[in-house]
Chain A
């Protein structure tokens, strides 16, 4: 018997965006408040997991045509290159810096290179979590 998930799927469509927004908020809050790449990445993957529950793996792959293993590697690459970047300025590995910039819409904003490293962490967490869940889900 085929079940009808119309309520679940409709709720998912609404809730999904709230979760993704919250995960992005957590990610950017990390420097001064609780949050950061790890929890942000987990929250984003939980949004994708909700999508997996509401639909099936094939549909989700169509919505998000991402190879999550490659995503992990990209994240690692970003994190390591942020560290290597400090070589260019003659500073020790992983030296970070920050400054204040006038940005349109946001006004005066603190931009830190640590965020680049955190993007790496974020991508690795999303990539690893989704690889694990998809691999277990697909194997029979």
Chain B
């Protein structure tokens, strides 16, 4: 029993409810949002430290013993992701202050952002597969609202596609849970693991595992289920896209990591080979998109897909190194994608367009922004002292250990193309002929620097402080590689 586990869910939930009462008073809304985010970061940090010192923390909701009640499980993997989510929530809110506009702010924007954070945090912390579905829906409903919020034509069009795809995948999720419940008779993830192990993962269970892969693949944007993602993520304002890009797809990846390491790990030869090849195609399609476009937002969006593929490959190789790499890279990618979307958003604010061919020479008036973009770009590609390096290194190491040479080479090659795609933005947008003089610019970067700087500082600290981080990540990977630890923590007390 440890009520600390629920605080990262409860704080944004209460903040979201309180924000509904103050929907006309924007100053109060901003204060409440920031204070709630700081409290969530604090509680998540305490949770991370607590898990490191005392092992996996569980909370039996309502005092019911698992597997009969819902249990919240904070292992180190979930706790680290909860902390990253809280940090992104804060920076997303700070970035919204200047960019989102008063019309949207007056219409429950901050409340919905808090509900989005509730959904994401809950999905990370839950230990029950149906409760996972419920938190997915909390997250998705908030994202439906955010994607259509403002009601411009492009948002309306894209939200129809987005809602349609997600409703279909949610229905499939329910069907998959129903099949799983019919076969095993339980919904608790730890208990599922025990029962699947007892039956030795029959063919029917492998079919259900693939059905879950389809469901989470649709949420997480893996090949060939990513088709909805590039156009949908372009529609909403930059602050919303940043939250989506940093959080939503990662929840799908998290769910795959959880389900395929704790429940369905008995037929690795089949399921994990499929995972590895899907990861390879996801990376390939992602880099092709990233190179092809001349639109700042699209390039960053296709880089989400590449990153999802890389993380998925780390999970698929199923070795300690690969799993650690996936965790390092997942957290790195949440932070750096947030920073990149903010930077792209700042460029759009300044130039008034996201078309790369219509901008240039931003470095002259915005040197700070330019160099921050440069750091974010080389960090994304995985240049050694920065945060993207260690994750990719471990993933490739895991790939070689598992004998997946081809796909490991694809991961390495993808870094080059990712670097090319993002450097294209830097060279075309920041260098070159100056297109807009100071007077012609559409907006200023004032107030946008702070959230970007926070994320970049974390990213740099993350890269240099790997030594400090490694006990946390090792512990997280250990739980994922040894389902018994998870089962012990949940069921035996």
Contact = CB atoms under 8 A, between A and B. Distances in A.
Interface of A: 69-70, 72-73, 76-77, 80, 83-84, 87, 91-96
Given A92-B59, A93-B61, A87 B21 contact: no
| Candidate in B3, B17, B20 with the most chain A CB atoms within 10 angstroms | B17
Contacts of A96: 62
Contact of B17 (A76, A91, A92, A95): A76
Contacts of A70: 20-21
B20 A91 contact: no
B203 interface: no
Given A80-B10, A80-B13, A92 B1 contact: yes
Interface residues on B, range: 10 to 19
Interface string B351-368: 000000000000000000
B62 A84 contact: no
Nearest to A83: B10
Interface in B1-24: 1, 3, 6, 10, 13-14, 17-18, 20-21
A126 to B, nearest CB: 15
Contacts of A92: 1, 3, 59-63
Majority secondary structure of chain A interface residues (helix, strand, loop or mixed) = helix
Given A69-B20, A72-B20, A87-B3, A95 B62 contact: yes
Interface in B43-65: 59-63
Contacts, number: 39
8 contacts: A70-B21, A73-B21, A77-B17, A83-B10, A92-B60, A93-B6, A95-B62, A95-B63
Given A92-B62, A94-B61, 4 more contacts: A73-B17, A80-B10, A83-B10, A93-B3
A93 B13 contact: no
B14 A93 contact: no
Contacts of B63: 91-92, 95
A73 B6 contact: no
Contacts of A95: 62-63
Contacts of B17: 73, 76-77, 80
B59 A93 contact: yes
Contact of B14 (A80, A87, A94): A80
Contacts of A83: 10
A73 B20 contact: yes
A-B residue pairs, 9 tightest by C-beta: A73-B20, A94-B62, A95-B63, A76-B17, A93-B6, A92-B63, A95-B62, A77-B17, A94-B61
A92 B6 CA distance: 9
B105 to A, nearest CB: 16
Contacts of B14: 80, 84
Contacts of A93: 3, 6, 10, 59, 61-62
A71 B14 CA distance: 15
Contacts of A87: 3
Nearest to B62: A94
Nearest to B58: A92
A105 B17 CA distance: 37
Interface string B18-32: 101100000000000
Interface string B97-110: 00000000000000
A93 B5 CA distance: 10
B156 to A, nearest CB: 15
| Candidate in B13, B18, B20 with the most chain A CB atoms within 10 angstroms | B20
A70 B18 CA distance: 10
A130 to B, nearest CB: 15
Contacts of B61: 92-94
A122 B14 CA distance: 18
A95 B3 CA distance: 11
A73 B112 CA distance: 13
A92 B4 CA distance: 10
A68 to B, nearest CB: 12
A132 to B, nearest CB: 14
A84 B6 CA distance: 10
A76 B10 CA distance: 12
A93 B61 CA distance: 5
Interface in B149-178: none
A83 B7 CA distance: 12
B203 to A, nearest CB: 39
Contacts of B13: 80
